Amino acid sequence: MSLSKSPQSIALSRGTDARSWWLYLLACQDGRTYAGIALDVDARFEAHVSGKASRFTRSFRPLKILGAQPFATKSEALKAEIALKKLPRPAKLAWARRFRRRRRAN
């Protein structure tokens, strides 16, 4: 059985601060994607799923986290989010493949 490592666990294994800001990309209903930033990607995803995080994800429910990239500061994460949102869909998906969430076997 495979379990997903949390972004914080990945940060620690990469030697980055567990309180890093994260840029994340979600797969949503109707094939849409949603990009955002958070300190805790898993908690933010749960907020999106419950309809409490953004108007967009209340309309287009998130299905899964496609990728997450750590940043040292909120400012860096915000700049990266703006850049990611400007990319065409194929480039966003390529970014997600590069920063795909790691899985480990039990």
Instruction: Note the pLDDT tens digit of each residue in 40-52.
Output: 999 999 999 999 9
Structural domain that includes position 87: 2-99
Instruction: Note the pLDDT tens digit of each residue in 46-102.
Output: 999 999 999 999 999 999 999 999 999 999 999 999 999 999 999 999 999 999 976
The CATH number that applies at residue 81 is 3.40.1440
Q: Establish if 22 belongs to a structural domain.
A: yes
Q: What is the pTM of this model?
A: 0.79
Q: Establish if 28 belongs to a structural domain.
A: yes
Our count of domains for the chain comes to 1
| List of residues 6+ apart from 84 with CB closer than 8 A | 23, 25, 35, 92, 95
Q: Establish if 105 belongs to a structural domain.
A: no
